[in-house]
């Protein structure tokens, strides 16, 4: 099973959590990005995500590998949902395990920052007033060879 996945079905939080188990782990940190009912003061009805799955999996996996070179991690996993999401559903799940908690926290936050900056996924918000907009995004950081 890939360490970083893109799925169009609800993220199985319990299954991902189980994959963090490791006998040497003393601290696990989990981040869940959830669809919230508002964005910049406007009521959100639902979201739709598109993703370029093969590249998203590749970039996500590279981020996890990079995190393992920066911190002594026992596990580093991630999953991004695409498709139609209602308020309260998890759009992204990131989990880290380390012997000590500082590394697990730092790595989890860093992975999530990188995922937002580099993984080719796009979010479209449908607001309560019926307006539909692509979220203002971040210009992707390319990993193209110079």
Partner 1 sequence: MPELTVLYFAHLRDQRGLDSERITSTATTARYLYRELVQRHGLTLPERTLIVAVNEAMVRWDAPLADGDTVVFLPPVSGG
Question: Per CB under 8 A, does 12 bind its own copies?
Answer: no
Is there binding between residue 13 and its own copies (CB under 8 A)? yes
Could you give the CA distance from residue 100 to residue 91 in angstroms, rounded to a whole number? 27
Q: Which does 138 bind (CB under 5 to 8 A by kind): its own copies, partner 1, none?
A: partner 1
Q: Name the packing angle between helices 53-70 and 101-118 (round to 10°).
A: 150
SS (H, E, C) 44-60: EEEEEEEECHHHHHHHH
Site mask, its own copies, residues 103-122, x = CB under 8 A?
-xx--xx--x----------
Binding residue for its own copies, selected from 2, 8, 12, 21, defined by CB under 8 A = 21
Q: Does 54 bind partner 1 (CB under 8 A)?
A: yes
Q: Which residues pair with 125 in a beta bridge?
A: 47, 133
């Amino acid at each position: 099973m890939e360490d970083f996945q893109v799925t169009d079905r609800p993220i199985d939080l319990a299954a991902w959590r189980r994959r963090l188990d490791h006998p040497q782990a003393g601290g696990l940190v989990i981040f869940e990005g959830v669809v919230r009912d508002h964005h910049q003061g406007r009521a959100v009805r639902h979201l739709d995500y598109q993703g370029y799955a093969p590249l998203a999996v590749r970039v996500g996996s590279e981020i996890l590998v990079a995190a393992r070179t920066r911190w002594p991690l026992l596990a580093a996993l991630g999953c991004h949902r695409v498709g139609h999401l209602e308020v309260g559903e998890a759009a992204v799940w990131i989990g880290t395990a380390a012997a000590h908690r500082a590394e697990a926290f730092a790595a989890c936050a860093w992975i999530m920052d990188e995922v937002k900056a580099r993984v080719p996924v796009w979010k479209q918000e449908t607001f309560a007033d019926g307006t539909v907009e692509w979220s203002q995004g971040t210009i992707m950081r390319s990993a193209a060879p110079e």
